[in-house]
Amino acid sequence: MTTAAAPTLEDVRAAAVAIEPYLSLPTPLLQSPALSELLGAEVSLKLEFATPIGAFKLRGGLNLVGQLSDAERAAGLVSASTGNHGQSVAYAAQLHGARAVIFVPEGANADKIAAMERLGAEVRSEGERFDDCIRLAHSFADANGMRFVSSGDEPALIAGVGTAALEVLEWQQPETDVVIVPVGGGSGVSSWCVVRDGLGSSSKIWGVQSAQAPAAYESWREGSVVTRPNLTMAEGLATGAGFELPLSIMRESLDEFVLVDDDAIGDAVVTMLEHQHLLLEPAGASTLAAALGNRERLAGRKVVLVCSGANITRAQLQALLDSR
C-alpha cells in the first residue's frame, strides 16, 4: 500500500483558499427538472466542466503545482494523461513559469492535445494506452531530473479536486442523499469520500467506471491494485491499473461502485444533450448512465451527478449521434 498520506478535510479547505484566486468558484449546482422526471428522483448536476480547461482536474493541478518548491518547478514537470489531467498540469505550469511535458496515448483526443499545446506544454503522443504513457513519463522524468506528477497518487491533487465536494456538501446542497462520481484513476471519487467523511455527512458516494476499463473497480473489490483491459472509448475513464492512494481511500469509504457499458455511456451523452441541452464528454456523462441503470435505487432521493468534463470532439459527438 502507498506510503503517501491521504489528504484531510483541512487540506481540502486549504486548497480552496489556494486555488480561489485562479478560478471562478464555486462551479454551479444545477437542478434538472427534466432528468428528475426521467429518473424519478431530485437530480442536480455539479457542472465541473465550468473551468478554463473544461474539466474538474484543474482544481487539483492548481493546488499541486502551487505547493511545489521553486526547485521542482524550475526542473520542470512530466505527466501522463488522456487529456484533462494533462491540461490541468499544463495550465498550472504555465501559471508558474514551469516547463511541462505530457505523454498521451497515440490517437488521443485531438482537442485536448491542442489545448495542452495552447497552454505551453510539450505533448508527446507515445504509447498505445494510458498505462504505457505512465511508464514512458516516469522514465523521461528520471532521465531528465524532472518532477513526475501522477494523475492519482498525489495527496495535493486529491485535496484540490475535493474542493468541489466541499462546495456541494457544505453549503450548496448539504442534504444530498447520493453523489455519483466518474472514476478513471479515482482522484475525484476519493476526494468526495474525504470531504464527506470529514464533514460527517450522511450522503452516499458512488463511483462509476466503464465495464470496458474496470481496473479501479476490480482493485476496489479485491483490495489491491490490479491490472485489467483498458478498451473504453471514454478516455476520462481509461486506465488499465488502479492507483494506490485513491484505492486506499475508496476501500475505506466508498459506498458503491457501478460499472456501465460504453454503449450506455454513449446513450447518456445523447440523453444529456436532449434532456438538459448540455454537451458532455463520455466520462462526464457516465454518472447519468449509472443513474439510468439504477433508477429503482435512486427513486425519490436527492441525487447529484458530477459532470466532470465537456471536452468531446466533433468527431466523437457525430459518431455517437450517428449510432443512435
Cβ–Cβ under 8 Å, residues 62 and 20: no
Distance CA 301, CA 35 (A): 13
Confidence at residue 100, expressed as pLDDT on a 0 to 100 scale: 98
Grid cell locating 154: 498525489
Q: What is the pLDDT of residue 1?
A: 42
pLDDT of residue 288: 98
Q: Which helix (H) or strand (E) holds 148?
A: strand 147-149
Which residues are within 8 A (CB) of 241 and not within 5 positions of it... i.e. 6 or more apart?
131, 215, 219, 225, 226, 227, 228
Nearest to 199 by CA among 218, 217, 219, 173: 173
For residue 102, the surrounding DSSP H or E stretch is strand 100-104
**In terms of Cα–Cα distance, which of 277, 278, 266 is closest to 320?**
266
- Rounded to 5°, angle at Cα 16 from 54 and 257: 65
Residue numbers of the chain with a pLDDT score lower than 70: 1-3
**pLDDT value at residue 3:** 60
- Give 222's contacts (C-beta < 8 A, 6+ positions apart): none
Q: Give the integer Cα–Cα distance in Å for 157 and 188.
A: 9
